[in-house]
A and B are shown apart, each in its own frame.
Chain A
């Protein structure tokens, strides 16, 4: 029962993150949604590392990488803001074609 409870939390987080990625247009908010998906993966990796610790070790590496990703991402968002001077045009149609 308790396993199911962790799985549900992680699935809920990944679905919420995906909904954000699909519908939102603001780059910082999309970055937030991506972080939610990464957290969902980390819950799986940590909670189910009963047989070996690899999952927990992996999760700690994922945390480090996602911090690096946010760092680069925010640098680019700030640079775009500096070029355009207006947040309103800074919408990305990332998932549109």
Chain B
């Protein structure tokens, strides 16, 4: 089980790297979807069933398809992706990586458990997280209003 999880994490990281490095937009979107799916599998491995399910539904489903759709709408063939500051980026990210990785070696907490059942999450969302959960519906509503206004054609 643990070696399987190690392989999945490795694949998640590799495909995330390919999202950034790939020259083709469609390829990076597909790698992104693959990476999302891998993260979903990691969620399932720590017993978070609900999170694993909505990760796959919303991220690989909704977000991934939306990205692909937009790429088909807006991109042209044969244009390469421009990239700037490759080396300074590596230096900056490397420094930051050292800053986080070095202290995190000493974290010795256990992960996992079987608490992430849908029932428990549902109870939590309607007790402790009640107001944030309701505010999410307002966030989605305002995003719908905003996005439809921007996309709408007003020719007629």
A and B touch in the complex (CB under 8 A): yes
Q: Please list the residues of chain A having a beta carbon within 8 angstroms of any beta carbon in chain B.
A: 2-9, 11-20, 22-26, 28-29, 31-33, 35-36, 39, 42-43, 46-50, 53-54, 56-61, 63-72, 74-79, 81, 86-88, 90-91, 96
Give the distance in Å from the alpha carbon of A2 to the alpha carbon of B3 in the complex.
11
> Which residue of chain A has the shortest Cβ distance to B29 in the bound complex?
A32
What 1/0 mask marks residues of chain B from 75 to 108 whose CB sits below 8 Å from any chain A CB? 1100101111110111011001100110011011
Is the beta-carbon distance between A67 and B35 smaller than 8 angstroms? Answer: no
Is the beta-carbon distance between B85 and A23 smaller than 8 angstroms? Answer: yes
Give the distance in Å from the alpha carbon of A6 to the alpha carbon of B5 in the complex.
9
Which of A13, A53, A61 contacts B133 (CB under 8 A)? A61
Between-chain CB contacts (< 8 Å), 24 pairs: A3-B110, A5-B6, A7-B107, A9-B12, A11-B100, A11-B101, A11-B104, A13-B16, A13-B35, A16-B19, A18-B92, A28-B70, A42-B51, A46-B48, A53-B116, A56-B50, A56-B121, A61-B129, A61-B132, A63-B54, A63-B55, A74-B70, A81-B73, A96-B84
Is the beta-carbon distance between A43 and B42 smaller than 8 angstroms? Answer: yes
Is the beta-carbon distance between A18 and B139 smaller than 8 angstroms? Answer: no
The A interface, classified by DSSP as helix, strand, loop or mixed, is helix
Is the beta-carbon distance between B109 and A57 smaller than 8 angstroms? Answer: no
Is the beta-carbon distance between A29 and B25 smaller than 8 angstroms? Answer: yes
Is the beta-carbon distance between A32 and B19 smaller than 8 angstroms? Answer: yes
